Every structure is written in structure tokens, then in C-alpha cells.
Chains A and B, each alone.
Chain A
Amino acid sequence: MEATPTNSMTSQLVETSDRGLADRVLRDGDEGAFRALYSRHTPYLYQFALRTLGGNEPEAEDVIQEAWIRAVEKLDSFRWEAELRSWLAGIVLNLCRGLFRRKDRQWLEIDESALGSPRTARLDERMDLEQALHLLPDGYRTVLVLHDLEGYTHEEIGQALGTTAGTSKSQLSRARRAMRDLLVETEAL
């Protein structure tokens, strides 16, 4: 297919760095540049939010929209010492935490009794890992996602969640045990 001016412009944006696109958004309010950034990072951010929020799609979409608004508002304060995606993920994580708090959901240091029952899960023959993650309490799930999926260190988790590395370690240990219990129980059903 021949390259049209629109296609050419789009491909230029696709090849532009995050910083170049962010500059255009900041300087000109360039919608095309924003859409390029959005397309580049949203699939990752959305999956991250969806997992952290236990598979709640409407909440995850609200979080993503709000995250982009905050990101564009604060873009001029981003120093580019880290990757843009990491910064965006941090905003998503803070929004998820805020959502948990507003809904008075338990965050960290939860009681074991708060664990969801596998029998309330949407089960087929066997619960898969994704479903088990969704059933974990918010605090457990968040630490598990950050550490075992996203590769955060305990120090980074502590910093991101406003707690300590030690708390992160203990939460992770409990979260893994809870996850295994969920998977084993559903296997036994």
C-alpha cells in the first residue's frame, strides 16, 4: 500500500521516542502525539491495573483514564531519570491504592480470614493462576503482582506502597501461600 501523508505522519509518531512525544504534548497539546503515547503504553498499564484490581474492568478503565490525565498534568515535572512506563505504572498503582481506600477495602497487613473462598470463584475444571490472583485480598494481590510479575524489589514495593521492605516480604510470603491454597483447593474440587 502506498504511504499516505496520514500514514506517514502516524509512522513518524510511532518511531518518535517517549520524550519526543511528551514534549509535543506539553508544548503543543498535540493530540496525535498523545494518542501515540497512549497506544504505546496503555495495553501494559491496563493489564497491570486490571490485575491489581482483581479483574474489575470498569474500575481498571477508570484508573487508566485518570492516570493519563494526571500524567499529562504532571508531565513537565517528570525528570526522565526513569522510564516513562515505570512512572506511569506508579501513577496507576497509586490510583489503585486510592480506590481500595475509598472502598474501605483492606490493603496491607490483612487478616488471613479475609481470603476469598475458592468456591465463590468462577470455576471451570481448575482455577488458573489469573483467577487465583483475582481472588486474593487486594494487599496480597498487589504485592504478588509487583514482585512476582513486575519484578519489583521489596525496597521498591515498600517505597511505592508507603511501607517497608520487611512488610513487603512478609506480605509476599502470605500472598504466595494463599494463592497456593486457592489453587490446591480448586484442584481438589
Chain B
Amino acid sequence: MNDERHDLTPAEKAEFASLPRERTPGRLLEERTVRALRRRGLLQGSRFRPSGLFAAAAAAVAVFVSGFAAGQWTTARSVTHSLIEAQQQTAIEAARTVQRTGSAYVTSIAALAQLTDSTGNPALAQGQEAAVAALYNAAAELARLVPNDPMAQLLRRVLQGRHTDTTEQIGARNVVWF
């Protein structure tokens, strides 16, 4: 019954060859098939395997702990860095303030000295007292700042004696601080 007339022509062969050989079914078919295999016990659902579950839980804990530690480290590093920066900034500012106010202190005492020489204004005594008090407190802080510095210690001792005497003399006198 095989009839040679019914053999495929080259054009027909080409047409057959051009037909697609693959076609992807819907995604649901894969899930349906996997579920059917699980029901028959032919596949182990990876999500429900105890070993897989423990491994997943362990991995989750490890990720959490690592993340937490990293976060802690980052935060601590950030805070420390900020603190150091702030301290550095504060030290610079404090040094500048010492320099600025020290110059102002010296300048103001010099001005006071000129006034003292030329006038007998009693208000000047208050200025002198304020200058000594400021110098005393500055010497005390300087002794704390550089405790082994001989000059600072000597100055503090000398001024301490004078400061006590002056305070007793001043009594209830108001000292105007600036």
C-alpha cells in the first residue's frame, strides 16, 4: 500500500522541519505534577524535609546573628568615631578659647594697669581683684592640666595664699565675673 507518489516533496519536508519541536506548557502543570509525585511519596518536598528545615532555621539564625553583630559593630564604630571627632573638635575649640581669652585677659589687665597708673579710681581695685582671682583659678586648672609642671605648681601655691587673704578681706564684696 506504500505509494511512492505519497513521499514528501522537498517543500513538504521543509514545512515539516519548520514546525516547532518544543512548547512550554503552563507553569501550573509543573506544580500539579510535583504535588502528585509528593502525594505518592516519590518526591520529598524540600520545604518539609526535617533536615532541610533545620538547615534553613540554622541558616536564618546565622544570618540574623551575623547581621545583628555587623549592625552593632557598625553602630559602635560610628558612635566611637563621632565621639572621637567631637572630642577632637572640642579640644581644638578649647585650645582656641584658651588662646583667645588668654590674649584678652592679658590685654584687659594691661588696660587696667594703665588706668591704675593714671587714675585713683576705686573701681579699679575690683578689677585688680578679679584679675588675681581669674589668675588663681587659671593656675588651679593649669595645675590639673599639667600636674608635673613646676611653674604651674609654684604659681598655684603662691596664689592660693594670696587668694585666701584676699577672700577674707573682701568678705561680702561682690565680684563681678565675666
Contact = CB atoms under 8 A, between A and B. Distances in A.
A39 to B, nearest CB: 8
A18 B32 CA distance: 22
Nearest to A48: B21
Contacts of B21: 44, 47, 149
Contact of B40 (A31, A57, A69, A177): A69
A68 B146 CA distance: 88
Given A38-B33, A42-B25, A149-B16, A176 B1 contact: no
A34 B2 contact: no
Contacts of B36: 65, 69
B3 interface: yes
A98 to B, nearest CB: 17
B20 interface: yes
Nearest to A57: B25
A148 B42 contact: no
A170 B2 CA distance: 5
Given A25-B43, A35-B30, A38-B30, A46 B6 contact: no
B20 to A, nearest CB: 6
Contacts of A42: 24-25, 29-30
Contacts of B155: none
B43 A46 contact: no
A50 B34 CA distance: 20
Q: What DSSP secondary structure best describes chain A's contact surface?
A: helix
Given A31-B43, A42-B25, A148 B16 contact: yes
Q: Interface size class for chain A?
A: 35 or more
A84 to B, nearest CB: 16
Q: Interface size class for chain B?
A: 20 to 34
A43 B24 contact: yes
Contacts of A57: 25
A20 interface: no
B46 interface: yes
A40 to B, nearest CB: 11
A114 B156 CA distance: 125
B37 A34 contact: yes
Contacts of A60: 25
A61 B43 contact: no
A46 B23 contact: yes
B120 interface: no
A166 B175 CA distance: 130
Contacts of A148: 8, 13, 16
A29 B42 contact: yes
Interface string B66-91: 00000000000000000000000000
Contact of A61 (B2, B6, B26): B26
Nearest to B28: A61
B33 A29 contact: no
Interface string B17-53: 0011111111001101110111011111110000000
A30 interface: yes
Nearest to B8: A148
Interface of B: 1-3, 6-8, 13, 15-16, 19-26, 29-30, 32-34, 36-38, 40-46
Interface of A: 25, 28-32, 34-35, 38-39, 42-44, 46-47, 50, 57, 60-61, 64-65, 68-69, 72-73, 129-130, 148-149, 169-170, 172-174, 176-177
